[in-house]
A and B are shown apart, each in its own frame.
Chain A
Amino acid sequence: MGIYYSVEDLVSAAERENKKISEIVLADQARELEKTEPELYEIMLASFRVMQQSVEDGIDPDMRSVSGLSGGGAYKMKQAVDKGKTLCGKVFGSALVRALAVSESNACMGKIVAAPTAGSCGIIPAALLTIMEDRELPEPDVVMALFTSSAFGMVIANNASIAGAQGGCQAECGAASAMAAAALTELAGGTARMAEHACAIALKNILGLVCDPVAGLVEIPCIKRNAMGVANAFVGAELALAGIQSAIPADEVIIAMKRIGDAMPRSLKETSEGGLAATPTGKRLKKEIFGDT
């Protein structure tokens, strides 16, 4: 295979060989890249380490972006979790802390892993590190789940888009959310078919989401959309693990996503000319940061 164009192909390969999608993908990529499986695992492990570090970096209460628009949110969320004040318990709260931490670190020009993009970099680490902690999963399983995420992301990239400028935020936080949902499902012991449904459900929930960053910065609303993205990943995975199926297959959802992205006006695709960027407050913030030009 090498390059993936269809979720159905991935799922059927896993079913045929009675393996996890991550195992199929690792073996396939090793063939394609002329490397051994352990070599590719090590590369993914290195990215996983950067993800862990970016969570640590982002919990700093004093961190601020150059614009001054963001920073410190993850710390506040963590205080709420530590004090047991969250509405939905520790697992959900911790996922939000991590999504905010990685995204805030990104906004502050910290080192992160694009997953699949920098604007959506908090969602996959938040989902995976949270379930790892809660279920006490061995690290290799979690690193392997990144191969599953990546394969789903590649199908989205090849049939729709993973660029906000081309497909809106559905292409970034939407893609990340769907990729995370598939990985969560695999990590929780779901089947490859369930991972497909998790991906489809998560993506359906986020279709049409616009990319409208205030002042063109990957801060407002991107950081909080990462928090939403991890929540949505859990929605997709929870429903799929309960045996709920997406009526529309993942591959068809992805084609719908592409058409929606194409139909969106330019003003809502990372040009900062529409949506939240064009609100009075959005425009005022832009002026405060960059002046009139």
Chain B
Amino acid sequence: MNVFNIIGPVMIGPSSSHTAGAVRIGRIAGALLDGVPVKAHILLHGSFAKTYRGHGTDKALVAGIMGMSPSDTRIRSSLELAKERNLSVVFEKGEIEGAHPNTAVITLTDAQGRTVTLQGASVGGGNIVISEINGMKVDVTGQQTTLLILHKDVPGVIAHVTNYIAAQGVNIGNFKLTRGHRGETALMTIEVDGEFSRESNAGIEKLPNVIRSTMLRPD
């Protein structure tokens, strides 16, 4: 967290938690799906479920899924834009036990049938926390440049990845590992200080046993 999370973001109204934060949750979901989404299923919980239309939370989530940032004036017409792009969107209201009041669970599917599911909460002032990706517990705020690296759960992968990042001259500020089932797949969440290039991120995907690396940059 830094001062610009408190005075900021610059955003389209009317609600930092229900509009700007929602854009950011959607944006991470969109970034995590490798391809172009054709289907979006969005489960809304708590205050999100009660008030989403009033705050434009629906428009905001869909705008984010399509890659927009919270200050993008096209948020106002994102639902129409989704139709033009053949993205079908379904909203459902539900209860998630113990979840933050402003929570959404987004499942995206691309034309090849690949999917990604994430659970995210908008925790105030446009700040968010992604707590689950494809069933694995995470803790992603997106405030720093963040690498989400899906890999096989075998010896040596973490060493390869962290050595590679060190070789780029980049410092790791935070590291978290989550495993689905032992010996299957695991997810590294790595926050790095300063800049990390797209080329560097593509290099991570070439390392042994790495399935995918998604880089999230603060908007």
Q: Least Cβ distance of B37 to chain A in Å?
A: 24
Q: With A and B bound together, what is the CA distance between A161 and B127 in angstroms?
A: 12
Within 8 A of A (CB), among B37-76: 46-47, 50-56, 71, 73, 75-76
Chain B residues contacting A116 (CB-CB under 8 Å) are 6-7, 16, 124-125
Q: With A and B bound together, what is the CA distance between A40 and B4 in angstroms?
A: 9
Size range of the chain B interface in the assembly:
35 or more
Cβ B13 vs Cβ A110 within 8 A: yes
Which one of B6, B53, B73, B194 contacts A290 once the chains associate, using CB atoms below 8 Å?
Answer: B53
Q: With A and B bound together, what is the CA distance between A118 and B122 in angstroms?
A: 13
Which one of B4, B51, B55, B56 contacts A43 once the chains associate, using CB atoms below 8 Å?
Answer: B4
Chain B residue at minimum C-beta to C-beta distance from A147: B3
Chain A residues contacting B19 (CB-CB under 8 Å) are 118
Given A166-B101, A217-B55, check contact A114 B8 (CB 8 Å). Answer: yes
- Listed stretches A86-94, A130-138, A235-243, A265-273; interface member: A265-273
Q: With A and B bound together, what is the CA distance between A150 and B6 in angstroms?
A: 6
A101 at the interface (CB under 8 A from B): no
Chain A residues contacting B127 (CB-CB under 8 Å) are 157
B90 at the interface (CB under 8 A from A): no
A192 at the interface (CB under 8 A from B): no
Q: With A and B bound together, what is the CA distance between A81 and B55 in angstroms?
A: 32
Q: With A and B bound together, what is the CA distance between A230 and B109 in angstroms?
A: 46
B12 at the interface (CB under 8 A from A): yes
Given A165-B47, A215-B54, A271-B51, check contact A153 B17 (CB 8 Å). Answer: no
Chain A residue at minimum C-beta to C-beta distance from B17: A163
B209 at the interface (CB under 8 A from A): no
Bits for A95-137, please: 1 = Cβ < 8 Å to B, else 0. 0000000000111111111111111010010000000000000
B9 at the interface (CB under 8 A from A): yes
Which one of A67, A118, A149 contacts B15 once the chains associate, using CB atoms below 8 Å?
Answer: A118
Given contacts A154-B6, A216-B54, 11 further A-B contacts (CB under 8 A): A46-B10, A109-B12, A111-B73, A116-B124, A121-B13, A146-B7, A150-B4, A158-B1, A165-B102, A166-B101, A179-B6
In the assembled complex, 11 residue pairs joining A and B whose CB atoms fall closer than 8 Å, in A order, are A34-B194, A112-B10, A113-B9, A113-B10, A117-B124, A118-B20, A179-B6, A215-B54, A269-B47, A272-B51, A272-B54
Q: What are the 6 tightest A-B residue pairs by CB atom distance, in nearest-first order?
A: A216-B51, A163-B124, A216-B54, A106-B13, A150-B3, A114-B16
Q: Which A residues fall within an 8 A CB radius of B?
A: 2-3, 25, 29, 32-34, 40, 43-44, 46-47, 50, 65, 67, 105-119, 121, 124, 146-147, 149-151, 153-154, 157-158, 161-166, 171, 179, 213, 215-219, 266, 269-273, 289-290
